[in-house]
Amino acid sequence: MLQIKNIKKTYHTGNLIQKALDDVSLNLRDNEFVAILGPSGSGKTTLLNIIGGLDQYDDGDLIINGISTKNYTDKDWDSYRNHSVGFVFQSYNLIPHQTLLQNVELALTISGISKEERRKRAIEALDAVGLKEQMHKKPSQLSGGQMQRVSLARALVNNPDILLADEPTGALDTQTSHQVMDLLKDVVKDRLVVMVTHNPELADEYATRIVKVRDGKILNDSNPLTREETARLSDQPEHKNLGKTSMSFLTALSLSFNNLKTKKARTILTAFAGSIGIIGIALILSLSTGVNDYITSIEKETLSEYPIQIQKMTSSMMSMMISMMSDDQAPDGDYVEEFPTLNMMAGGKSSNDLKSFKSYLDSHQELLDPYVRSIEYKYSLTPQIFRYEDQDIYQVCPDPVTQAMFGSSGMVSSMLTSTSMAEMFQELPEDPNLYQSQYELKAGTWPKNANEAVLVLDSTGLMSDVLSYSLGLRSGKELDDVLKVLQSKDGGKLDVKKEHWTYDDILGRSFKVLSSSQFYEYDSKFKVWSDKKDNADFLKNAVDKGIDLKITGIASPAKGESVTMLTQGIYYTPELMDQLIKIAADSDVVKAQLKTPKINIMTRDEFGKKPKDSAFSNEDLFTVDEKAFAEAFRIDESKMNLDTSAFSDMNINPADLNLSGIMDFSSLAQALPAMNAETFNQIMNGAIKPVTEETMKEIFTNV
């Protein structure tokens, strides 16, 4: 139901003030064919454009499905326009050098739908308007009536609830007009069609309701809402404040899958994606009915943005989310019942033995190849990156701002680091084909070796001011002041003025990169290794010897690219990582530790006896927790030997691999028994439509 309430619209051109709509109110049914009739200049187009979100009203309200649009954000409008409304214009607005098929497909591009699905739907839409045979022609090879039918197909390909047509037959002769109108009439069956015309005969013949306008006012309405219908309207709760606060996460998502492209939604989602993976996103999205259509289209493209991630340690948000959504009732008795939060938090944790998993993947390359676009490895090694500013040394990675805000413990931090969304320095994928085509290089070159890095801007071509500190464009002294405020107990006001930088300011910015193993020195007096990072002279000496890193390029998402792989940040190459891993592996401190795997070389205590030094995490790279492995993979520990035969024991049958998509899910599912292979497959193939709480529990119970 669309409600137009006391809408006013005035155009100002120079000194001229033109009232286009003067207090217009109109309620439209979900399913009717409304003709808006009136002389030229009476405000018809303005009204239609406001209904379709193409133009903003000055005053009054447009209420869509009981929700006021007063607090709609640009994104809400985008989503409404892209998914709820189809437009047909008098002038067709087809793109001349593209085929009919491409023209119709284009309307789907914006919705983040896969190529094959787009093609399929576009052909169906062209078929519906009787132009399937001509789909490879260009618009110039068509008659006016045919072109209008193409634009009708384009308007309908998204299956919108509302179809808006502005003088669709204005340029057509009578006979062709009737053909187009017949098609329009077909369309109306299950949606609202609003057509602007100045042809009263056409309105009479086809519309179920005629609204006459003149001078921006409604003169006459042939079929207004009955008293009962109006009463039902006012029964409907009207959510007056659809503001940021009243819109739930799920509602926000359900507004459209398109929101995924926006930074904010992506930030939220990436956080979830990191811990629960792409399946989680599919589930979250499919919970809200509005997006089921799009679930079926989560394919390769989307996977490039939200790859399946398998982490050594994960804390799943899923059990939390399930509990948030469960409708456990408070008990009726005179007692207070507990809500089992702790079990859920513990249940969300799991660990995988990625070393063995990697050797399994490595030894089954040919088997995996047809199903995988790319497998990338990340190591839990945070490069220690510094920059010089005059005589001073500032550490820029790990990012000091994130550390100040979130500290280094707890779920938030693990969520942030696991998705690396908070880290300004990040690693490029090994395969440049995965991302380079999605970006436009604004200046310089893509990094080619360990000494080069690229600055990636966000989807709007901006970069956060936090990055300016990382890059040294803003001074370290200023950052110290900022951090003081961020860390202070009672908050405080910051007044960081917006700045802009030239490409030349940014290119050539340089850093020094160290492995954290380089902070440790043997103390022969106490016979322990100790962290000397806090010693200024030691640090300076170490940083001087670090690997040089320089910004050689600036990239931003290419125009029209809806799915991009990298979030904003400074990206270094996997080669840099390789060098750091080698430095760590070759370092005396790591060698010493490997020599006495049971004894903590920092404290000379036995591991496990006392809390180990959490500052040193490189051991993650070199030791295998057999018990954790057994738990993760549910294999009898006695049968365990850490080589690939552990996996052949699991009896993975290549014939089970029937996935149309991306990865070897059956064996993956076997490796992670919590995932049921069948369900996994169904989700990835889009076979599961509305996912119920039950299904979610089924899949994630053991994760």
Residues forming the site for Mg ion (CB under 5 A): 45
Smallest gap from Cβ 193 to Mg ion, in A, equals 17
Using CA atoms, how far apart are residues 79 and 109, in angstroms rounded to an integer? Answer: 13
User: Using CB distances below 5 to 8 A depending on partner kind, what does residue 177 bind out of Mg ion, ligand ADP, none?
Assistant: none
Indicate the residue among 45 and 667 with the shorter CB distance to Mg ion.
45
In the list Mg ion, ligand ADP, none, the entry touching 46 (Cβ below 5 to 8 angstroms by class) is ligand ADP
Report angle CA 318, 354, 408 to the nearest 5 degrees. 60
Which residue of the chain is nearest Mg ion when measured via CB? 45
Complex with ligand ADP: residue 16 or 655, whichever CB lies closer = 16
Partner interacting with residue 41 (select from Mg ion, ligand ADP, none; CB below 5-8 Å by kind): ligand ADP
Whole-angstrom Cα distance, residue 203 to residue 295?
39
Angle at which helix 115-128 crosses helix 100-109, to 10 degrees, equals: 120
Distance CA 301, CA 296 (A): 13
By CB under 6 A, residue 15 contacts ligand ADP: no
User: Amino acid identity of 635?
Assistant: I
By beta-carbon proximity to Mg ion, the closer residue of 79 and 90 is 90
Question: Of Mg ion, ligand ADP, none, which one does residue 42 interact with (CB within 5 to 8 Å by kind)?
Answer: ligand ADP
- Judged by CB under 6 A, the residue of 11, 377, 503, 622 near ligand ADP is 11
The phi and psi torsions of 120 (rounded to 5 degrees) equal -60, -50
For the residues of 213-259, what is the DSSP string, one character each? EETTEEEEESSPPPHHHHHHHHHS--B---STTTS-HHHHHHH-GGG
Q: In the complex, what is the shortest distance from the CB of residue 46 to ligand ADP, in angstroms, rounded to a whole number? A: 3
* Contacts of residue 253, Cβ cutoff 8 Å, sequence gap at least 6: 259, 265, 269, 284, 285, 288, 291
3-state secondary structure of 521: strand
Take residue 137 and report the two structure tokens written for it: 């022609």
Q: Measure CA of the first residue to CA of the last residue in the chain; give whole Å.
A: 42
Smaller CB distance to ligand ADP: residue 41 or 340? 41
Cis bond before residue 611 (omega within 30° of 0): no
Chain positions 44 to 103 lying near ligand ADP, rule: CB under 6 A, are 44-46
Judged by CB under 6 A, the residue of 2, 7, 20, 424 near ligand ADP is 20
Which residue number, 20 or 577, has a Cβ lying nearer to ligand ADP?
A: 20
Q: Which stretch binds ligand ADP (CB under 6 A): 13-21, 491-499, 601-609, 655-663?
A: 13-21
Residue nearer to Mg ion on the CB measure, 132 or 214? 214
Q: Give residue for tokens 């169906």.
A: 124
**Least distance (Å) from Mg ion to the CB of residue 298?**
40
Binding ligand ADP (rule: CB under 6 A), the pick from 13, 391, 502, 638 is: 13
Shortest Å, Cβ 176 to ligand ADP: 22
DSSP helix/strand/coil, 455: strand
> Among 459, 482, 457, which residue's Cα sits nearest to residue 469?
482
Using CB distances below 5 to 8 A depending on partner kind, what does residue 226 bind out of Mg ion, ligand ADP, none?
Answer: none
Q: Is 38 exposed, middle or buried (0-12, 13-18, 19+ CB in 10 A)?
A: buried
Kindly state the smallest distance separating residue 81's Cβ from ligand ADP, in Å: 18
> Whose Cβ is closer to Mg ion: residue 48's or residue 162's?
48
- Greatest CA separation for the chain: 102
Partner that binds at residue 451, options ligand ADP, Mg ion, none, CB closer than 5 to 8 Å by kind: none
DSSP helix, strand, coil percent of the chain (3-state; round to 5): 45, 20, 40
At 536 the three-state DSSP class reads: helix
Pick between residue 18 and residue 230 the one whose CB is nearest to ligand ADP. 18
Q: Which does 297 bind (CB under 5 to 8 A by kind): Mg ion, ligand ADP, none?
A: none
Q: Specify the DSSP class assigned to residue 198.
A: S
Find the part of the chain contacting ligand ADP (CB under 6 A) among 12-20, 122-130, 220-228, 308-316: 12-20
CB of 53 to ligand ADP, least distance (A): 15
Among 694, 698, 697, residue whose Cα is nearest residue 319: 697
Q: Does residue 18 belong to the site contacting ligand ADP (CB under 6 A)?
A: yes
Shortest spacing between CB 690 and ligand ADP, in angstroms:
41
Question: Given the structure tokens 């409604």, which residue do they identify?
Answer: 218
CB of 48 to ligand ADP, least distance (A): 8
Nearest Cα residue to 623 out of 417, 349, 356, 348 = 356
Nearer to ligand ADP, 54 or 405 (CB): 54
Pairing of strands 384-389, 392-397: antiparallel
Nearer to Mg ion, 45 or 552 (CB): 45
In the complex with Mg ion, the residue whose CB is nearer, 47 or 513, is 47
Q: How far is the CB of 176 from Mg ion (least distance, A)?
A: 20
Reference 72, options 29, 81, 23, 458; nearest CA is 81
| Contact letters for ligand ADP, residues 23-52 (x by CB under 6 A) | ---------------x-xxxxxxx------
Give the footprint of ligand ADP on this chain (CB under 6 A): 11, 13, 18, 20, 38, 40-46
